[in-house]
Structure 1
Amino acid sequence: MTDDRQTLDRQAREQTARELAALNDRLMAKNHALAEALTRAGKELTKAKSQLSQLAQPPLTFATMVKVDSSRTDEMGVTHASAEVIVGTRRMIVPVAAGLNASRLAAGRTVILNEKMVLVDQRDHDTSGMVRTVTEPLGDGRLVVADAGGNASVVRRASTLASHPFDKGDRVIVEASGRIAVDALPRANDADLVLEETPDVTFDDIGGLDRQIERIRDAVQLPFQHRELYARYDLKPPKGVLLYGPPGNGKTLIAKAVAHALAEGDGFGERSGTPGAGGVFLSVKGPELLNKFVGESERLIRLIFRRARERAADGRPVIVFIDEMDSLLRTRGSGVSSDVETTIVPQFLAELDGVESLGNVMVIGASNRVDMIDPAVLRPGRLDVKIRIDRPNGDAARAVIRHYLTDDLPLEGGVDADALAGVLVRDIYTRSPRRHLADVRDEHGVWNALFLADVTSGASLKNIVDRAKTLAVKASIGTGSDVAIGVDLLARAVEEEFTETRDSLLDADPVQWSRVNGFDAGAVTAIRGVEH
């Protein structure tokens, strides 16, 4: 019995020990979890304190360094410096923090002011700001600069520009107050925007536009040919001509023919036999004038007309040709191009009005979208001669085709070029189902048939003839001898043009397509295909 009791007591003690050990483990685990929770809470509290400290910290202020204003040492040997800075448009004198080396502060650099307006740090100079054009470097290092409107001001140089060699026409970035030039920009390459050229196109190369050519000759040539008669009848030459209409119908060709006539002296005054003695043709790429820094377009417009005046100073006629004029001189307030037209249009009008004193400078503009040009540009006294270059009708189309389909080409026997041109015109201009491109709906919901003839331009006529020539070349390569151009090849060329035109039409946005192709507003609001 004693042994059994002892065994039971031992087992009881062992059980108690196990229970106490398990309880201790549980308490240790709880203590560990509590310690981890306290650690996390401490970290969160530290983070919250840091965030609270950041929120309570006053903001710092950016400024532009001008110069160290003064520096003095007190009786304790501590140096106290102050600096002149620009904050926004305000000039200020601020103290420099004792731990900052004032001798290293440089003009034009960005500096940091604390809440007490003490200069505590220096950064690099800002690389953004207003663009100004240098008109004159001064001997003391300052620069005379001009803004887009030609208004002049004098600016200091940043320390980084102290030894930079500036010339007239260079561009700089000026900080917000307009007092310091902080960076130099690459010189604007204006040469690719205003080309003085002599195209090889003549009026004889243009078919189907006899009436329009006569009008532009009257507008451009007569004033130069008969100055005395214009004076006798108190008649002022027009300052500008606008060539407008659907694309691909000869607007640019006419302008190039004018340029050729100018250079050759054809009806524009006598040539002296020396280079440049004829007229001058300045060609301007309208859209590219907008691909510049804000404010640059106005400067470039002034440059264009200044160059025109320089060329006209010796009495030579000067034509300024602006292609795609609607991209440059859009109606003000239209919201296009970030409303840059609000400054570009007035600048252009001022320059155009200024050429009145020079009777030998004329502007010729070309546009597919005359509806988008600001009305002030088109009023009488400015671009007062307006010539519509429309799609060719049958007779005009025949004249255009005869420029490219000539009798010296390999033609089918017994058929001359004039007869082939007639066949080609009839095929293109037929209003039968075979040349039915699509149906278009107008703003009133009415559907109308659209034929190939409705969208044919001078450029597409040339393209059709070129297609036939290409087919002849490919066939000649296969046979080893010349293959004549005849009715069959021309019919295939028309069919190819018809198919491509139809496919592109069905994939186009109706409203945008109608605008680009010279249709009246509301004439095309939807397009649907037709079965052939």
Structure 2
Amino acid sequence: MKRDRYQEDKYEEFQPPETSLRALTLLDEILRARPPQDARLLNYLLLLRHQLEVDEKQFQEAQKALQEYEQVYEKLTSPANRIGVYLGSPADGVAMIAVGDTEYYANIDPKMDASTLKVGTRVRINEAFAVVGDLGYHPQGPIVKVQEVLEDGRLRVASDPQGMSGRLVLRGHDLAEVTIKPGDEVRMEPNLKVALEHFAQREARDYYFEEVPEIPWSAIGGQEDAIRVIRDTIELPLLHPELFRKFEKQPIKGILLYGPPGCGKTLIGKATAYNLTQEYRRQLGRDVREYFMYISGPKILNMWLGESERMVREIFAAAREKAREGNLVFIFIDEAESILRVRNSGRFTHISNTVVPQFCAEMDGLVSLENVVVMLTSNRPDYIDPAILRPGRIDRKVKVARPDKQASRDILAIYLHPNIPLDPATVREYGSEEAAREALLDGAIEYLWRKHPETEFVQVYLRNGGVETLYWRDMVSGALIKSVVDRAKEFAIRRAIEEPSVEHGIRPDDLKRAIEMEYRENEIFPKSDVMEDWLKLIDYEPEYVASVKPIRPGSGGDDLRRTVI
């Protein structure tokens, strides 16, 4: 009893030191200091050591679980971080950020490397509106069209599909050195403050571009008068600018080519681009490239309000851009009457009511550019709005008429050139290929141009009582002559396939058969509701015509002629 009381007194007097000793370490010291002969004590101490190891392991696991719980609890109970857009850093440790439509000067967490932040990237913001994290660029966002690029690099983008309103935005870090042009598209971050991604607008710059083949003036037959007017109108101001400045004469910007279909209006446009570029290159003594923009009028038409006007703006913007780069730009609009039609004041808004003013404004904006030419083509120039055709916009109207007899022969000679194989029997008959070719040309043209009941095509009954008969020759065109030669080639190719062991070529009867088939297949007449358009194409004023009767071959009289009107 005295010993127990003594031990209790010692426990009460003992003051443990402030140490961080582990229980296992202290137990190991006791094991080393125990009496070696006391095996029972050793067993107790080893058992105690094992239990301490188990308790310490369980304690560590519990401590780890508690830490995880505290972390989860802190995440679940802490307020959500806001996400803003980094707009720049006006000073060290300070960021300009946008949260929605509101902008803030915010401190940057010292733990962050502020130099890694990029304009346009998303940043995480805590309750105190301090930047505490970088989330990178937003992967989504609206795509808008660029209307204008300002000198300081900012972009004016459209806020609506029609481009009627816009807003100014910054460029993202990755777009700082990218060349962006009006008409391109950019992807915005959701706050619509910064442009993040660039999409070059192919429709504006490349979609209408068309390679111009080598077409010298000699490749166009039968249109000498039209070519002369075009060369005098467009070529002279580019080759002699000093004379035009001396006389204070503004270069002509626009030309209208009109006439029946298939007579070479498009071919003349491409030949103008090619030949004028060659002359301009020689005049300047440096390389000049033509940029031929072929635009089909119906392709511009769009049912959505403002889309056609937007396409007109982009076409002229691309033309001005290429002109500033030193190119000789040709805007060639085919079937111009489809988009530049006479405006009306009816109750229903026609698309031309808005496209025509836009086109006029763009034409007026070309005055300061000397290397842009606008060429329009039309089968019905009377349908084009007078505001387009007035002097100062479309200054010259050139009629591309049907070819006469000599012009038809010239066109036929272009397509039936010396590289086309001729029938060996025909060559032997005339002594040489050149003589045989000349005979083929003369024979085909005489056959086409003859005035014979077989070549009667249509009779036109005039309101004054007169009757005029149109023959094959009155309906000829360059496209028709090309089709005749193609048919003759088909006949020769078919013979060559059937008799591969014999040389074959085009014969006189091939051309005659081709002419007959061409007119037989084109013996299609329009209904009465579109007869006005058809009459204009054969140079008749509808108000002077009472009726039209197509003549069928071998009819033998008027009783077999069917009245169309």
**Normalised TM-score (structure 2):** 0.59
Judged with a 3 Å threshold, the aligned counterparts in structure 2 of structure 1 residues 297 and 197 are, in CA distance, closer, same or farther, namely same
Residue 249 (str. 1) matches residue 269 (str. 2): no
The counterpart of 1:393, out of the listed 384, 404, 409, is 404
Judged with a 3 Å threshold, the aligned counterparts in structure 2 of structure 1 residues 230 and 436 are, in CA distance, closer, same or farther, namely same
Residue 145 (str. 1) matches residue 166 (str. 2): no
The counterpart of 1:419, out of the listed 423, 436, 439, is 439
Match of 1:4 in 2: none
Question: What secondary structure, in the 3-state scheme, does the structure 2 residue paired with 1:470 have?
Answer: helix
Match of 2:118 in 1: none
Match of 1:217 in 2: 231
CA distance in 2, matches of 1:278, 1:390: 30
Give the drift of 1:279.
3.1
CA distance in 2, matches of 1:332, 1:479: 61
Match of 2:513 in 1: 492
8 Å CA contact 2:219–2:414 kept in 1: the answer is yes
The counterpart of 1:376, out of the listed 360, 363, 387, is 387
Give the drift of 1:466.
1.7
Which amino acid is the alignment partner of residue 342 of structure 2? Answer: T
8 Å CA contact 2:254–2:396 kept in 1: the answer is yes
CA distance in 1, matches of 2:157, 2:515: 63
The number of aligned residues is: 373
Runs of at least 5 residues in structure 2 that lack an aligned partner in the other structure: 1-142, 150-155, 169-181, 188-200, 557-565
Give the drift of 1:259.
2.3
Which amino acid is the alignment partner of residue 344 of structure 2? Answer: G
CA distance in 2, matches of 1:377, 1:365: 10
8 Å CA contact 2:332–2:375 kept in 1: the answer is yes
The counterpart of 2:422, out of the listed 401, 404, 410, is 410
CA distance in 2, matches of 1:440, 1:417: 36
Give the drift of 1:427.
1.3
CA distance in 1, matches of 2:257, 2:345: 22
In the TM superposition, what are the counterparts of 1:448-487 in structure 2 within 5 Å? Answer: 448-480=468-500, 481-487=502-508
Judged with a 3 Å threshold, the aligned counterparts in structure 2 of structure 1 residues 488 and 197 are, in CA distance, closer, same or farther, namely closer
CA distance in 1, matches of 2:492, 2:403: 26
Question: What secondary structure, in the 3-state scheme, does the structure 2 residue paired with 1:207 have?
Answer: coil
8 Å CA contact 1:323–1:367 kept in 2: the answer is yes
Match of 1:433 in 2: 453
Judged with a 3 Å threshold, the aligned counterparts in structure 2 of structure 1 residues 428 and 280 are, in CA distance, closer, same or farther, namely same
Which amino acid is the alignment partner of residue 381 of structure 2? Answer: V
Match of 2:251 in 1: 237
8 Å CA contact 1:243–1:389 kept in 2: the answer is yes
Which amino acid is the alignment partner of residue 293 of structure 2? Answer: L
The counterpart of 1:365, out of the listed 376, 379, 383, is 376
Which amino acid is the alignment partner of residue 527 of structure 1? Answer: V
The counterpart of 2:360, out of the listed 345, 349, 352, is 349
Match of 1:521 in 2: 542
Match of 2:290 in 1: 279
8 Å CA contact 1:247–1:517 kept in 2: the answer is no
8 Å CA contact 2:146–2:186 kept in 1: the answer is yes
8 Å CA contact 2:292–2:331 kept in 1: the answer is yes
8 Å CA contact 1:369–1:518 kept in 2: the answer is no
Question: What secondary structure, in the 3-state scheme, does the structure 1 residue paired with 2:341 have?
Answer: coil
Give the drift of 1:233.
2.5
Alpha-carbon deviations, 1:348-398, whole Å to 9, x = none? 111101111112222111111111011111111111111110000101111
Which amino acid is the alignment partner of residue 206 of structure 1? Answer: I
Alpha-carbon deviations, 1:14-42, whole Å to 9, x = none? xxxxxxxxxxxxxxxxxxxxxxxxxxxxx
Question: What secondary structure, in the 3-state scheme, does the structure 1 residue paired with 2:212 have?
Answer: coil
CA distance in 1, matches of 2:394, 2:282: 20
Residue 324 (str. 1) matches residue 344 (str. 2): no
8 Å CA contact 2:144–2:157 kept in 1: the answer is no
8 Å CA contact 1:429–1:452 kept in 2: the answer is yes
CA distance in 1, matches of 2:299, 2:391: 27
Match of 1:178 in 2: none
CA distance in 2, matches of 1:188, 1:205: 32
Question: What secondary structure, in the 3-state scheme, does the structure 1 residue paired with 2:249 have?
Answer: coil
Question: What secondary structure, in the 3-state scheme, does the structure 1 residue paired with 2:255 have?
Answer: strand
8 Å CA contact 1:441–1:525 kept in 2: the answer is yes
Larger radius of gyration: 2
Give the drift of 1:214.
1.9
Give the drift of 1:437.
1.4
8 Å CA contact 1:225–1:269 kept in 2: the answer is yes
Give the drift of 1:441.
3.1
Question: What secondary structure, in the 3-state scheme, does the structure 2 residue paired with 1:382 have?
Answer: coil
Question: What secondary structure, in the 3-state scheme, does the structure 2 residue paired with 1:416 have?
Answer: helix
Give the drift of 1:286.
1.5
Question: What secondary structure, in the 3-state scheme, does the structure 1 residue paired with 2:300 have?
Answer: helix
Which amino acid is the alignment partner of residue 456 of structure 1? Answer: V
In the TM superposition, what are the counterparts of 1:85-164 in structure 2 within 5 Å? Answer: 135=147, 145=158, 151-153=164-166
Which amino acid is the alignment partner of residue 352 of structure 1? Answer: M
Give the drift of 1:501.
2.2
CA distance in 1, matches of 2:531, 2:157: 52
Which amino acid is the alignment partner of residue 238 of structure 2? Answer: F
CA distance in 2, matches of 1:282, 1:365: 12
CA distance in 1, matches of 2:252, 2:457: 42
Match of 2:322 in 1: 311
**Normalised TM-score (structure 1):** 0.62
Give the drift of 1:262.
4.8
Judged with a 3 Å threshold, the aligned counterparts in structure 2 of structure 1 residues 267 and 222 are, in CA distance, closer, same or farther, namely farther
Alpha-carbon deviations, 1:47-103, whole Å to 9, x = none? xxxxxxxxxxxxxxxxxxxxxxxxxxxxxxxxxxxxxxxxxxxxxxxxxxxxxxxxx
Match of 1:17 in 2: none
CA distance in 2, matches of 1:235, 1:250: 30
Judged with a 3 Å threshold, the aligned counterparts in structure 2 of structure 1 residues 522 and 474 are, in CA distance, closer, same or farther, namely farther
8 Å CA contact 1:441–1:524 kept in 2: the answer is yes
Question: What secondary structure, in the 3-state scheme, does the structure 2 residue paired with 1:357 have?
Answer: coil
Match of 2:196 in 1: none
Give the drift of 1:132.
8.8
CA distance in 2, matches of 1:266, 1:482: 46
Judged with a 3 Å threshold, the aligned counterparts in structure 2 of structure 1 residues 339 and 257 are, in CA distance, closer, same or farther, namely same
CA distance in 1, matches of 2:396, 2:294: 19
8 Å CA contact 2:209–2:291 kept in 1: the answer is no
Question: What secondary structure, in the 3-state scheme, does the structure 2 residue paired with 1:423 have?
Answer: helix
CA distance in 1, matches of 2:347, 2:496: 51
